[in-house]
Amino acid sequence: MSASVKSLLSTLTSKGPHRVLRGNLAIAGQPGVVYTPESGLNLPAVAFGHSWLTSASNYRGLLEHLASWGFVAAAPDTERGPIPSHLGLATDLLTTLDICTRVRLGDGTISVHPDRLALAGHAMGAGAAVIAAAQRKVAAVAALYPAPTAPSAETLAPDIDIPALILAGATDIDSVSSNAIPLATAWAGPVVLRQLDGASHNGIIEGRRVLAALGAGKHEAKTARTTRALLTGYLLHQLLGDKTYAPFADPEAVIPHTTSIDPHAPRDEEKKPKLSVGQISQLLRR
């Protein structure tokens, strides 16, 4: 394990050098929030989609973290109900990017470079980010603990030839709530699929949430810290071309607390011999 990668990961778990400002996207006609560095021209921007039954406020720490590292991080606050439109959230993500690129932010001292854009999201929001990326080419996509959507992200992935980071939790990567592996397998562009040790797919959600009443897991501080670092390092490399953070875009790199997964390698369950109908019938008679 490279000491330099350890050091980079440790650095990226802490806030960056920029003072962070918060703004309201509703002023520009899109419900949502935007976090920016105090100043800067031609900055990179990330539009972030929230998970099911959550809101933009449940990702405040993540968005502030990105802003502290020099990104304009914006999140639409729509499709929050029990029956959301994934297409609707995808549309709002694209609208959010439009606002970031066409409107001078802050007191006019903050602007976004149109070629330094990324779409990102968590769970349902990750799927919405993929749906959005199928409609508009951006510099990178980050799908954090992606969950199935309609239309399914993996059916769109073969036509998306841009870099992608896909993160999954070790405790539920093979569950029905995660489509990280099929999404990575189908992705047309360069893809990094990483599994976080001991993490669950809902561990990065912050604050009080409806999901807790439904038995969802609690906020996992370690998962949140590692996720922020991996996402920040990946975007610093992909959007700004900073070679210092190249390991975060390298599927071969060894990064603490994570395991890089080859989505095309046979899974353990695929290696197991399958029972025939006759064998199953015999087992049932016993």
User: Whole-model pTM?
Assistant: 0.90
Query: Residue 284: what pLDDT?
Result: 42
**Range in 14-28, 200-214, 224-238, 242-256 with the lowest mean pLDDT:** 200-214
Write down the domain spans for the chain.
Answer: 3-285
- What lies within 8 Å, CB to CB, of 134 at 6+ separation is 156, 159, 160
Where residue 195 falls (left for φ over 0; alpha for ψ -120 to 50; beta otherwise) is: beta
- What lies within 8 Å, CB to CB, of 7 at 6+ separation is none
| Between 132 and 218, the higher pLDDT residue | 132
Average confidence (pLDDT) over 92-114 = 89
Average confidence (pLDDT) over 197-226 = 79
pLDDT of 208 over the 70 cut: no
- The predicted-structure confidence for 42-68, as pLDDT tens digits, reads as follows 999 999 999 999 999 999 999 999 999
- The predicted-structure confidence for 133-162, as pLDDT tens digits, reads as follows 999 999 999 999 999 999 999 999 999 999
- Band (pLDDT 50/70/90 cuts) for residue 268 is low
- Give the number of other CB atoms < 10 A from CB of residue 268: 7
pLDDT of 274 over the 60 cut: no
User: CA 101, 106, 107, 112: dihedral to nearest 10 degrees?
Assistant: -30
Question: Is the CA virtual torsion 203, 208, 211, 216 positive or negative?
Answer: positive
- Band (pLDDT 50/70/90 cuts) for residue 219 is confident
CATH class of 3-285: alpha beta
